[in-house]
Amino acid sequence: MSVNLTINNLPATVEADTTVLAAAATVGIKIPTLCHFNNISSPGSCRVCLVEIEGMRTLQPACVTTVSEGMMVKTTSKAARDARRLSVELLLANHPWDCNACVRNNECELQDLAKEMGITEVRFPYEKDEIPIDDSTPALVRDMNKCILCRRCVSVCQDVQGVSTLAAKDRGFDTVIGTGASDSLGEEVCVQCGQCSAVCPVGAIYEKDSIEAVWAELDNPKKHVVVQTAPAIRAALGECFGLEPGHCVTGKMVTALRMMGFDKVFDTNFSADLTIIEEGHELLGRLKTALVDKGEVNLPMFTSCSPGWINFMEYFYPQLLPNLSTCKSPQQMFGAMAKSYYAELEGIAPEDITVVSIMPCTAKKYECTRDEMYDSGYQDVDYVLTTRELGRMISEAGVDFLNLPDSEQDSPMGMSTGAADIFANTGGVMEAAIRTVYEVVTGRELPMEKLHIAPVMGLKGLKEASLTFEDCVDDWKFLEGVTANVCVAHGLKNARKACDMVASGEANYHFIEVMCCPGGCIGGGGQPRFTTDEVREARIKAIYAEDEGRKIRKSHENPAITQIYETFLKKPLGEKSHKLLHTHYHAKKIDD
């Protein structure tokens, strides 16, 4: 049903249930907002979007007020303008003014609002007591002095991720966003997904910066510095330089990294392909144990690429840890291989190799410091930079990114397939795995259009698909006629649903892909701000296009992977694989 209303004397017709904010947008009026974010959070509390509605005594927040027939809205009346300005002025009064030295300088919503409203004076003194900066985790920094209490971080942490580490504490002027019973994230259950940092409108939550440390490695002539870039980086990095979401900038990224002095520009896609081989065989092995040997085996198997998800399981579902694939994440497989296989290949001492990862993810910063991640004999991955940090580093290097020529990754660890590309988004690991598993089992290519498994694509929270193996090759005859049920979850709240179904025995899945962040890694906590659903869709589209444009689109066809098994690993799940590429995780308590 449609509703007619008037906004600033302009007639508008919109669907019922539309907010005044959205209705105004249809007639070209942008109402400023702050606490409102996408479809995640609209507490209606910042009062920056107030408008005047005829017949109402008080001004109304446009972000949560729905339209009604005949409504007369004024967004530019004096009352509305004055109220919005005062809201912003009051926020500024209690916000530090070190904007030039802030990580969010020039990409701060409060700064933008002050500018838009022409606020050049603040009449109220700064009254806040200083709050110590919390940098207790490897991933995130929280500077609550800058917090404007929009509660977006609380909404993502509670409603989207279901982790609920963050919540408002105390009240009134003393309200802060707190971390449970302690004063720091490090002492609480935090999966370090960084979604809070991805939605923060100001400089109150951000990734822990490793740029200087990476420059220092690059400056060190003794170090052979190799870099890996996660599949999701290429679909988002361009946004740091003003490109619309949905452009892959793989070639320019490689060129830029080389210009900045990385000795080798490799690709996490390489180890994504490796993951598929290992994980695919692990899954087939578990199925064989279950179906042929009738042995005790933990099914369904969960994917293990996403470190935020691993943290979540360790805290919330330790009983399901045996169901987790023993494969390390592609980042960590890469690091372990770089400091073993690659070091051997190039004759460089592993201690002289520095592995830098470019990740869409803040939890990766934690993952590389884990005790389990020293299997090369050294810290397998030394530094993790998020997409945002890489963007800043490229800017600092003075590289004219958008006009760079394309170039290709180095061999051998830069070689990859389309299957690896789609690790970037929800459903991608599942699809990549099935492309290989199906072909291994039946000897035929997956009979799907463009090799895509449509039911596990897209942004639906929990997705399911079933696949029946027919005409299996001799080695896998025991799977003849078996229907494999798979499930894909993204965002930890959906992961929780999947876990609950498994824990209760209600689910009959064989394989479950979980990505910690909504949309998968393309929506990671370290990606350029802001990641809305439209942005997620655009990035996913770009990733699928990258995949479809490849000659090789199945992990097992990656020649570098074939070679690595021939010369180094020998066979999937072999002895070397076990040492370097697999691990086990353990239940975690708050104090760990």
Long-range CB contacts (< 8 A, 24+ apart) of 121-125?
122/89, 122/92, 122/93, 123/89, 123/93, 124/89, 124/90, 124/93, 124/94, 125/93
State the nearest-atom distance from the C-beta of 89 to other proteins, in Å: 9
Q: Which residue stretch of 56-64, 259-267, 458-466, 560-568 sits at the interface with other proteins (rule: CB under 8 A)?
A: 56-64
Query: For other proteins, which is the closer residue by CB, 1 or 181?
Result: 181
CB of 196 to other proteins, least distance (A): 12
Q: Which of 1, 11, 55, 58 binds other proteins (CB under 8 A)?
A: 58
**Is residue 45 among the annotated active site residues?**
no
Per-residue tokens: 372: 């389990």
Does 504 engage in binding with other proteins (CB under 8 A)? no
User: CB of 314: closest distance to other proteins in angstroms?
Assistant: 16
- What three-state secondary structure class fits 524? coil
Q: Which helix (H) or strand (E) holds 431?
A: helix 428-442
Question: Residue 485: which of 506, 502, 509 has the closest Cα?
Answer: 509
367 in active site: yes
The three-state secondary structure class of 193 is coil
Using the rule CB under 8 A, give the single segment among 170-178, 334-342, 361-369, 376-384 that binds other proteins.
170-178
* Closest separation in Å from C-beta 512 to other proteins: 23
52, 279, 389, 439: which is the annotated catalytic residue?
Answer: 279
- Does 590 participate in binding other proteins (rule CB under 8 A)? yes
Cβ-based burial of 132 (10 A; exposed 0-12, middle 13-18, buried ≥19):
exposed
The residue within the footprint of other proteins, chosen from 4, 9, 105, 466 (CB under 8 A), is: 105
Active site residue 364: yes
* Nearest CB to other proteins, comparing residues 337 and 499: 499
Closest CA to 413 of 485, 359, 364, 341: 341
Instruction: Report whether 268 contacts 229 (CB < 8 A).
Output: yes
188 contributes a contact to other proteins by CB under 8 A: yes
- Answer yes or no whether residue 371 interacts with other proteins by CB under 8 A: no
Which one of residues 127, 130, 244, 449 is an interface residue with other proteins (CB under 8 A)?
127
Contact 226, 263 (CB under 8 A): yes
- Our answer to whether residue 499 is catalytic in this structure is no
The CA distance from 38 to 419, in Å, is 31
Nearest to 96 by CA among 165, 41, 147, 46: 147
Among residues 121 and 449, whose Cβ is nearest to other proteins? Answer: 121
Structure tokens at 108: 């701060």
407: which residues sit within 8 A by CB, 6+ positions away?
251, 254, 255, 258
| 325 contact partners, CB below 8 Å, separation of at least 6 | 279, 282, 283, 301, 302, 303, 304
Question: Nearest approach, Cβ of 506 to other proteins (angstroms)?
Answer: 19
| Annotation says 566 is catalytic | no
Residue 395 in contact with other proteins, rule: CB under 8 A: no
Active site residues: 279, 282, 305, 325, 364, 367, 372, 521
Q: Where do contacts with other proteins occur on this chain (CB under 8 A)?
A: 35, 43-48, 50, 57-59, 64, 79, 82-83, 86-87, 90-94, 97-100, 105-106, 111, 114-115, 119-127, 148-149, 158, 163-175, 178-182, 188-189, 590
